[in-house]
Structure 1
């Protein structure tokens, strides 16, 4: 009986899933109501700009974390 081949993660799917989840979290944070009445007077940008920026930041961070997770799973799968 031959040994079962090691299962390795599909890195592309990990990165896309992480980016999508990070984008969703970033958009959620961007759409949250800011705190306090003085906050709205000091803001120099629109809500759509905040949502776009936080969504892109979330996608970047999510893809990075998912990439690290995929690499760790890949290494642990190859060791066995």
Structure 2
């Protein structure tokens, strides 16, 4: 995974911490400022990139599938034998 810069949305904040796992911007001007900042601060960029790689592992399909199965079991939709 590369360094991630994305729009600041509730969905992004649901799974990631801006400034820790990735960087967000609320508009075009802010996006430009953030790009220039992190191009000139490679150590900070690499630290965020590294943490983002760790965090994204928790959100891979395998983990999501396991979470879904657990919820279905808790709700009684499937049983442990299914």
* Same fold per superposition (TM over 0.5): no
- Tell me the TM-score normalised to structure 2 length: 0.37
Larger RCO (alpha carbons 8 Å, 6+ apart): 1
- Tell me the TM-score normalised to structure 1 length: 0.38
Higher Rg of the two aligned structures: 1
Normalized per residue, the structure richer in strand is 2
